């Protein structure tokens, strides 16, 4: 099935309209903000944030993706215990118009899914990068040794901001 | 990551400048709104062969992701061979913050800033929306042989059809297979004049089809001419407040309360400066299941008339809506989208459109393409006919939304294949997942429990009568 990145490309306007110009661009902050070194992004707009133990973490989709997908009406969550390699489908996020895979950013095992998203899929639109109890995170995972290595290949917050800014052109 | 081409069907056919390709019988109005580039990108209409049938590729290929090139049509990179056409309302869409996508060879709005697809959908059912459908093809067939001509290529009875009355119909394949070339609305304007609207995605295919059929007609002595309303606007105003909005915009000589579903009338819209528009063909009907109107407008007035409707109605009563909402609305109404729910391998009987074939044309020698095949399909096996092997039905799917291409299997037995989904989405009005597809004859009765494979997992589904949302057509008592 299609990745989030692919869905966003298809949804992208053929002419850069006011819609694209206004709602999706992320401004570069003036001052240098402290990077959250533990948060990484994939080119397909998923994020993973490692907890302090460096073993477990949370996975979700980025604000950029959530905005561009539009109203999310359904989220397919992974089952507990599911083991995946980087790039494997964890679940899916669907709007009225389209369905996109949520792919695992790194090799990991699912410890828990965010069941809030079953009743309120729109939580993902409101707080997509929030990994608190009321956030729009998708899954809590345990990262394998391979997963730790996979993290190196991902983008940090700054790099992801540049990546998405480039995507808008 | 999948490449763009793998799951989408992008068949762009580059055609030579339009005028020179047309045969003598067809005249065209000036192309006032086309790009100056004479080369246009058109679509080869999707047939069942070209649709990706891999259930793993569940990406919805509804109106949003149709079969045009997905290359970024950025300003500097677009060569003339990739140029999309613009409807008369292009600038209006941009001014209202539209997100544009390629569809049917045109730049079309999918949604507008500040109004999600779900919100636009709901607004249409509660108030009213204006859809730009100028990308669709409007034609006039006239002449003493026009009726007979159309009765050869469609299964409709146009002799009994009243003046200023319309019917849904299908263009049928000349090979007699019963396959549908395109679906269409036919309107009788006079005994020798018919207004025909067909799909944007089938523009080039239908052009060739009509040219061939007109040549045959001429050879057999029928007097029939085709005129294509190039560059004309077509605007659909749909929803419970549509009548109020349009009535306020018209000049008072047209009583919309006397205009019922399936009927049409010419009316004039009041414009600024005390002017009125040309007489516009207003047809009561549409593609949403709501009460509404489709209004055909000359190129020079399309913007003014549309702006007037928006102004007269006001934002509480009427908003612009795009292809996103258009698709979810028509699916709730159980209406087909050619290229998905209908294609050349499907007959009207399989497509649950037998009702468009009147009793007096249900015979093998009715004289339209495929009459013999269709008649045999209409006759059940018990009565010596063939019946059909599959039927189009509706589904409500539990769990994940089922999208085009998803396989339908027997309940509890994924190895028993029963059919395929051709359209599906989460229904904004119902809060359930609705879908349309073809299922094996015998399994098609409402209430039949089946399963649909979505992302490899079987999801419970039940065959459901359509429309999913009750229609609200304005019909006489």
Position B366 in a domain: no
Helix (H, G, I), strand (E, B) or coil at B262: coil
**B70-91 pLDDT, tens per residue?**
333 333 333 444 689 999 999 9
A48, pLDDT greater than 50? yes
Residues B94, A17: C-beta atoms closer than 8 Å: yes
* Residues near B2 by beta carbon (within 8 Å), at least 6 away in sequence: A2, A3, A6, B57
**What is the DSSP-derived secondary structure letter of residue A120?**
-
B40 bridge partner residues = B15
B202 and B255 inside one domain: no
CB within 8 Å: A11 and B101: yes
CATH for B466: 2.40.30.110
Domain end, chosen from B228, B259, B285, is at B228
Residues B312 and B287 occupy one common structural domain: yes
- Same domain? For B128 and B183 the reply is no
Q: Measured in whole angstroms, how far is the alpha carbon of residue B185 from the centre of its chain?
A: 9
Q: Do B65 and A10 touch (CB under 8 A)?
A: yes
CATH code of B128's domain: 3.30.1360.120
Nearest to B212 by CA among B15, B17, B372, B25: B25
**Prior bond of A17 cis (ω within 30°):** no
pLDDT (0 to 100) of residue A169: 65
Whether residues B292 and B174 share a domain: the answer is: no
Q: What does the DSSP assignment read for B438-465?
A: EEETTS-STT-EEEEEETTEEEEEEEE-
B294 is in an annotated binding site: yes
If one counts the domains in chain B, the total is 3
Contact (CB<8Å) A12/B59: no
Do B339 and B210 share a structural domain? no
B68 in any annotated domain: no
Query: Is the domain of B100 the same as that of B146?
Result: no
ipTM reported for the complex, 2 dp: 0.79
Most B CBs within 10 Å: which of A4, A7, A10, A15, as the mutation test of the B interface? A15
Confidence of residue A37 (pLDDT cuts 50, 70, 90): low
Task: Please give, rounded to a whole number of angstroms, the shortest distance from the CA of B322 to a CA of chain A.
Answer: 12
Assess whether B275 and B210 both reside in one domain.
no
- B158 and B253 housed in the same domain: no
Token pair, residue A131, equals 């990994």
3-state secondary structure of B427: coil
**For residue B169, what are the β-bridge partners?**
B184
Model confidence at B374, pLDDT cuts 50, 70, 90, reads very high
Answer yes or no: do B108 and B156 share one domain: no
- Give the domain range for residue B443: 335-343+389-476
Question: In chain A, how many domains are there?
Answer: 1
Q: Are residues B176 and B144 in the same domain?
A: yes
- Partners of residue A3 in chain B, C-beta under 8 Å: 1-2
Tell me if B50 is assigned to some domain: no
In this predicted structure, what is the pLDDT of residue A97? 84
Claim to verify: residue B418 and residue B462 sit in the same structural domain: yes
Structure tokens at B430: 């119902």
Classify the phi-psi angles of B399: left when phi > 0, otherwise alpha if psi is within -120 to 50, otherwise beta. left
- Whether B71 is in a domain gets the answer no
* Interchain CB distance below 8 Å, A19 and B113: yes
pLDDT tens column, B201-252: 999 999 999 999 999 999 999 999 999 999 999 999 999 999 999 999 999 9
Model confidence, pTM:
0.83
Q: Are B332 and B289 in contact (CB under 8 A)?
A: yes
CATH number for the domain spanning A119: value is: 2.40.50.100
> Does residue B418 lie within any of the structural domains?
yes
Residue B16 lies in a domain: no
Phi/psi for B114 (5° steps) reads 85, -5
- Does some domain include residue B310? yes
Tell me which residue range forms the domain holding A118: 4-168
* Residue B440 resides in a domain: yes
Cβ contact B345:B179 at 8 Å: yes
| Nearest CB neighbour to A15, from listed B73, B121, B327 | B73
């Amino acid at each position: 099935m299609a990745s989030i990145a692919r869905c966003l490309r298809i949804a992208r306007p053929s002419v850069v309209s006011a819609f694209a110009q206004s709602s999706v661009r992320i401004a570069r902050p003036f001052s240098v903000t402290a990077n959250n070194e533990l948060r990484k992004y994939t080119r397909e707009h998923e994020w993973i944030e490692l907890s302090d133990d460096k073993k477990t973490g949370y996975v979700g989709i980025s604000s950029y993706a959530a905005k561009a997908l539009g109203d999310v009406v359904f989220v397919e969550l992974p089952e507990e215990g599911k083991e995946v390699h980087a790039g494997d489908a964890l679940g899916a996020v669907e709007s009225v118009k389209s369905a996109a895979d949520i792919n695992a950013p790194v090799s990991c095992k699912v410890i828990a899914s965010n069941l809030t998203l079953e009743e309120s899929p729109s939580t993902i639109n409101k707080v997509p990068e929030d990994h608190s109890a009321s956030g729009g995170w998708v899954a809590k995972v345990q990262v394998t040794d391979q997963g730790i290595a996979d993290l190196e290949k991902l983008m940090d917050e700054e790099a992801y901001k540049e990546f998405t800014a480039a995507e808008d052109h | 990551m999948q490449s763009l081409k793998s799951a989408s069907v992008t068949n762009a056919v580059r055609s030579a400048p339009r005028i020179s390709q047309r045969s003598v019988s067809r005249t065209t109005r000036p192309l006032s709104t086309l790009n100056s580039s004479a080369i246009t990108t058109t679509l080869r209409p999707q047939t069942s062969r070209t649709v990706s049938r891999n259930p793993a590729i569940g990406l919805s290929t509804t109106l949003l992701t149709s079969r045009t090139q997905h290359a970024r049509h950025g300003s500097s990179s677009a060569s003339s061979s990739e140029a999309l056409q613009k409807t008369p309302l292009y600038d209006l869409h941009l001014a209202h913050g539209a997100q544009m996508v390629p569809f049917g060879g045109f730049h079309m709005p999918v949604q507008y800033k500040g109004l999600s697809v779900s919100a636009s959908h709901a607004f249409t059912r509660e108030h009213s929306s204006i859809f730009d459908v100028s990308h669709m093809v409007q034609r006039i067939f006239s002449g003493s042989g026009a009726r007979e001509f159309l009765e050869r290529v469609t299964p409709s009875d146009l002799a009994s059809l009243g003046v200023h009355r319309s019917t849904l119909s299908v263009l049928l394949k000349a090979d007699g297979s019963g396959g549908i070339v395109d679906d269409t609305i036919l309107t009788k304007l006079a005994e020798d004049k018919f207004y025909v609207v067909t799909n944007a995605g089938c523009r080039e295919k239908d052009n060739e089809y009509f040219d061939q059929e007109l040549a045959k007609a001429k050879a057999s002595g029928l007097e029939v001419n085709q005129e294509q309303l190039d560059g004309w606007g077509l605007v659909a105003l749909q929803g419970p407040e549509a009548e109020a909005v349009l009535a306020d915009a018209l000049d008072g000589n047209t009583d919309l309360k006397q205009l019922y579903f399936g009927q049409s009338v010419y009316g004039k819209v009041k414009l600024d400066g005390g002017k009125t528009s040309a007489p516009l063909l207003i047809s009561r009907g549409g593609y949403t299941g709501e009460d509404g109107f489709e209004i055909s407008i000359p190129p020079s007035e399309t913007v003014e008339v549309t702006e007037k409707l928006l102004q007269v109605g006001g934002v509480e009563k009427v908003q612009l809506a795009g292809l996103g909402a258009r698709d979810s609305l028509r699916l709730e109404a159980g209406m087909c989208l050619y290229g998905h729910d209908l294609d050349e391998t499907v007959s009207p009987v399989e497509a649950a459109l037998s009702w468009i074939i009147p009793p007096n044309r249900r015979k093998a020698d009715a004289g339209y393409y495929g009459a013999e095949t269709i008649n045999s399909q209409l006759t059940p096996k018990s009565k010596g006919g063939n019946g059909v092997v599959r039927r189009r039905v509706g589904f409500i799917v539990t769990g994940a939304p089922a999208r085009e291409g998803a396989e339908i299997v027997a309940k509890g037995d994924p190895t028993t294949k029963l059919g395929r989904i051709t359209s599906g989405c989460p229904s904004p009005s119902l809060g359930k997942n609705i879908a349309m597809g073809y299922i094996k004859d015998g399994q098609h009765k409402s209430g039949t429990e089946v399963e649909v494979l979505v992302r490899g997992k079987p999801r419970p589904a039940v065959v459901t009568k359509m429309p999913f949302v009750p229609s609200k057509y304005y019909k006489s008592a």
